[in-house]
Structure 1
Amino acid sequence: MSEKTTIYDIAKALNITAATVSRALNNNPKISAATKKLVMETAAKMNYKQNRLALALKSGKSNNVGVIVPYIDRNFFSAIIRGIEEELYPLGYHVIICQTHEQESTEIDNINALLNAQVDGILMSVSKLTTQTDHFEYVLEKNVPLVFFDRKKDLKGVSTVTIDDFEGGYRATKHLIDQGCKRIAHLSGDWSLEIYKNRYEGYKKALTDHGIALKKEYVIKTKSDIRAGQKASEKLLMLPEPPDAIFSSSDYVALGAIQQLKKHGIKIPTEFCVVGFSNEPFTKFLELSMTTVDQSPVEMGKMAAKVFLEQVKDSNVKIEKKVVLSPTLKIRMSSVK
């Protein structure tokens, strides 16, 4: 069929009204089960496809949910998306995925595109360079549920699902202290993102609680990649009193540090211990498996979806939830003396 089949074509074929066809397709309780079955079978035979956007405009519900992440190719974010889909697909929702590449302008474009597509909600992780909140306020004005996961901005009326990054930083640092490490360096991310600031605060508190002085030269802010880890650890090794351990806010940075330490012939973990953060898949497959903090991304995704579902259940009730998941320290070879 070259032309699209309409409800009028189905009505003509069955000798019933277009209104009856429309009600049957939309599962109206006034239409008998036999008529519904007949309409559905004829629609399938005639290759009829409902215009989802027109339906969304009419019913105010599209069964589409937008998910915005910084990068889709990071295991952490793809695992969160998996969790969201596992929770929403069985309920008839479709997930539209957008990525910001850490750009605020792209994030704003993503939000506008999703609102134009009449999504029923937006679940997102804020980009690193986002400073304003106008585009989030706009989502709320449109009465579209907004849920932040992992990275967030504190906004009234917005639910968040995060991990206790402070606790993760604390546990990682305490583990290194328990291994007998005395000079622990911290490779941190950009503090404009709350997650990295909190991991640093956890590191600092663990040192204080165990009577170890914080040395400013042991704290280096880096990008979250392998090359940054190599450069930062080289800088640390050049110090008059180099550290004997690294707690990194990123597994990729920790991997770069391990590569650099090996280049200098430093034995891990006997002479130097390393702990990462995120539990990326590669960490357990390395020749020297890496100790890291697991963030339970699938669980985080499922929880973000559940919070969204609670919000759409009753649109008259404004729900604002702050869900904080507990991190798990995965102890492996890179830090056990």
Structure 2
Amino acid sequence: MITKKKTTIKDIANVLGITPSAVSKALSDHPRISDKTKADVIQVAKNLNYQPNHLASALRKGKSNLVGLIIPKANSHFFSSVLQSMEEILNEKGYSVIISQSNESYRQECESIDALLFTQVDGIIASLANETLDFSYYEKIKAKGIPLILFDRGENDLEVDYIGIDDYQSSHLIVDHLVAQGCKRIAHIAGYNHTRIYKNRIRGYRDALDKHQLPIEDALILEGNLSLEDGRAKMETLLKLPQRPDAVYAAGDFAALGALQVLKEHGVKMPEDIALVGFGNEPFTSYVSPSISTVNQNSEAIGRFAAEAFLYRIENPKEKVSLKKKILNAELVVRASSKKS
């Protein structure tokens, strides 16, 4: 099989009878190159299907106009909404976003960081994977002097800019709502406690129960990865308890959907027998029956603030400013799965 040779600047120069340096300057819209030469170079580049080497260009200029985005999963409306909002701002400033998905894997997250650093991105915006306990790879980013912005899932120990919602207060909103509906035995399908946002949601859940003088039982707190399958498994476990809960708060909408499926399969009425609340406001929560109460995480605002934090850091590299920590209020969206009256 014959491999087609990639077109280079030298090939364009040979066609036009000019130097490779002149071609490079023409492609960069250099003021000392005539408009006619620029037009000729662009036309030949198109004819030869020339693709610029962005990595080489970044190495020469010390700037790639690329921003790396690491997210745990792409099938989440929350992360896709964050990306859309982020791209709108960054694209206006001439930046393109390279998206990498960790699939909640620490190994994939590390590989993504290596790949983004090799690509010479100007900064990295990230939300940590569930498996991530070691932050040394993120320290590598900081050591290179590249702006690092964390959102949704981030760790205070990294001492970088962070944007997210008040996860602790969000749990209070949920428990307060369930108590107002008459619920007294509230279970929590939780994320892993080593992740800051889920730790705060568990802490908020416990403190809210204590505020309402309701019992805190370890058997009613089940940690997991919050996938649909995990939600199903955790709901099956809760239904087997000698005394079933009368409400379930799932720290993720996919887990809430799994719990809803199991409740329907067992003929459990919602919210009469067991009330259900999720987290994340995924689009499907309003379409299923019964519709699922959930928390709106203000994803568009998070994407906007994350992009603005990066731009501030890149435009003020030598300015020593305090870390930017933006904590947004969340909104409880009450629907049929938990509204008794």
- On whether the aligned pair clears a TM of 0.5, the verdict is yes
Output the aligned Cα RMSD.
2.5
Aligned counterparts, 1:256-335, within 5 A: 256-319=258-321, 320-335=323-338
Partners in 1 of 2:250 and 2:159 — Cα distance? 33
User: 1:235 deviation in Å?
Assistant: 2.9
Per the TM alignment, residue 3 of structure 1 is displaced from its structure 2 partner at its CA by 5.9
| Change over 3 Å in CA distance of 1:315–1:31 after alignment to 2 | farther
Cα displacement (A) at 1:171:
0.5
1:122 and 1:59 map into 2 onto residues whose CA distance is 19
Helix, strand or coil: the match of 2:120? coil
CA contact (8 A) 1:157 1:318 kept: no
Amino acid at match of 2:109: E
Contact 1:70 1:102 in 2 (8 A): yes
Q: What displacement does 1:289 show? A: 0.4
1:216 alignment counterpart: 218
Query: What is the alpha-carbon distance in structure 2 between the residues aligned to residue 223 and residue 45 of structure 1?
Result: 51
> Is the CA contact 1:275–1:290 (under 8 Å) kept in the aligned structure 2?
yes
8 Å CA contact retained: 2:130, 2:225: no
Aligned residues of 2:185 and 2:215 also touching (Cα < 8 A): no
Inter-partner Cα distance in structure 2 for 1:336 and 1:41: 64
* Aligned CA distance change for structure 1 residues 112 and 222 (closer, same or farther; 3 Å): closer
Amino acid corresponding to residue 89 of structure 2 in structure 1: E
Point out the more displaced range, 144-153 or 201-210: 201-210
- Alpha-carbon contact 1:311-1:318 (below 8 Å) kept: no
Give unpaired runs (5+ residues) of structure 1.
none
Find 1:101's aligned residue among 103, 121, 128: 103
Counterpart AA for 1:250: G
2:56 to 30, 48, 54: 54
Q: 1:3 to 1:173 in 2, by over 3 A?
A: same
Offset, 1:103: 2.1
Moved more, 261-270 or 25-34: 25-34
Corresponding position of 2:84: 82
Post-superposition Cα deviations, 1:297-316, rounded to whole Å, max 9, x if no partner, equal 23322321221111111222
User: Taking structure 1 as reference, are residues 175 and 28 closer, same or farther at Cα in structure 2, changes over 3 Å only?
Assistant: same
Does the alignment pair 1:64 with 2:66? Answer: yes
Tell me which residue corresponds to 1:138.
140
Moved more, 121-130 or 4-13: 4-13
Residue 240 of structure 2 corresponds to which residue in structure 1? 238
Q: Which residue of 2 aligns with 1:248?
A: 250
Q: Deviations over 1:86-128 (max 9, x none)?
A: 2222333222222222222221111111111111111111112
Equivalence for 2:150: 148
Contact 2:135/2:158 (8 A) holds in 1: no
Contact 1:276-1:292 at 8 Å conserved across structures = yes
Following superposition, the deviation at residue 156 of structure 1 comes to 4.8
Distance in 1 (CA, whole Å) between partners of 2:20 and 2:112 is 37
Aligned length: 336
CA distance in 2, matches of 1:226, 1:54: 44
Gaps of 5+ in 2: none
Percent identity of equivalent pairs:
42
